[in-house]
A and B are shown apart, each in its own frame.
Chain A
Amino acid sequence: MDERIFEKVKKIVSTQLSVAEDEVKKDSSFVDDLGADSLDLVELIMALEEEFAIQISDEEAQGIRTVGEAVDFIEQKMV
């Protein structure tokens, strides 16, 4: 897993969901561990799209449930 991507994702997740950065672990689930609601998830996806200049379809977004999954997805998209 790309640590630089993880660090950036961690920052975004922490601001977007108003949680401390050290609460954001690779296996944290956005909904179950970090308390995201459906609108948070959409906002988060949009923030990631903006930060990494990528497109994430709704279907792809459905598959991103944890911080680690987000990092992996971004890594794949960026190569």
Chain B
Amino acid sequence: MDLKGKSAIVTGGSRGIGRAICLKLAKLGADVAINYYPGLKEEAEELKKEIEKIGSRGYPIEADISKMDEAKKLIEQAVATMGKVDILVNNAGITRDSLILRMSEDDWESVLAVNLKGVFNCSQAVAKYMVKERKGVIINISSVVGLRGNIGQANYAASKAGVIGFTKSLAKELGSRGIRVNAVAPGFIETGMTQGFPQEYREKILKQIPLGRFGLPKDVASLVAFLASDEASYITGEVISVNGGIIL
């Protein structure tokens, strides 16, 4: 399996799962546009260097993907610098956990703005380009929480379930143009997003994971790389889980 000659964009690519995805795609030979949230330039530059060590090219591009104009510019800039885009990975995401009775309107709106509208923003901009090219791959990072719900995460679960409906619709709309659209639903993965969990909660979750450990960012990255590659050329509209068998 390789991605030689392909160009990819990974949103929120400078850390966590996004970072692992950038590295994996680069390792397989792809050029990677590393989108980073304003303020994370150093992280993205450091990753660019690491990608260059592997022998590929990394291009940090700043953008808040929850804003349509910035998302559009991100796609335009990526096409301009890499000459094309074959793969978009919508990875950027945030949590603002709270029980529904305490959830503020802002908790709701900010999570939906990044996790769902951000996916719309970037996908629409890239679809306009891919439709002309008559090919392309879009991979959206959903979550086990979007499939099964979770206490304290009604906003996040709604956004991630929304991503699944969005993914399936785009797969239908764009399939005739050679564009594949899939979602990946990770379970609990060791990143900044899960590091803050209290110890008891971690242990409680661990008991529900048959493989007996939290996932690593590279576990998700391997699946994304497979879906991005031509090895997956007959897979579209799917939601694939990578969660250690979790029983949530």
Contacts and interface: CB of A to CB of B under 8 A. Distances in A.
A43 B176 contact: no
Range class of the A interface residue count: under 10
B128 interface: yes
Interface in B106-146: 128, 131-132
A37 B132 CA distance: 15
A39 B177 contact: yes
B128 A39 contact: no
Interface residues of B, number: 7
A23 to B, nearest CB: 21
Nearest to B131: A43
Nearest to A47: B132
A54 interface: no
A46 interface: yes
B230 interface: no
A26 to B, nearest CB: 26
Contacts of B131: 39, 43
B173 A46 contact: no
A46 B177 contact: no
Interface string B170-182: 0001101100000
Contacts of A37: 176
Contacts of B176: 37, 39
Nearest to A42: B131
A16 B173 CA distance: 17
Contacts of A39: 131, 173-174, 176-177
A59 B177 CA distance: 25
Interface in B173-207: 173-174, 176-177
A37 B177 CA distance: 11
B134 to A, nearest CB: 10
A47 to B, nearest CB: 9
Contacts of A46: 128
Nearest to B173: A39
A19 to B, nearest CB: 16
Contacts of B173: 39
A65 B82 CA distance: 38
A13 to B, nearest CB: 15
A37 B176 CA distance: 10
A24 B174 CA distance: 25
Contacts of B174: 39
Contacts of B132: 43
Interface of A: 37, 39, 43, 46
Interface of B: 128, 131-132, 173-174, 176-177
7 contacts: A37-B176, A39-B131, A39-B173, A39-B177, A43-B131, A43-B132, A46-B128
Given A39-B131, A39-B174, A43-B131, 6 more contacts: A37-B176, A39-B173, A39-B176, A39-B177, A43-B132, A46-B128
The 9 A-B residue pairs with the shortest CB-CB distance, nearest first, are A43-B131, A39-B176, A39-B173, A39-B177, A37-B176, A39-B131, A46-B128, A39-B174, A43-B132
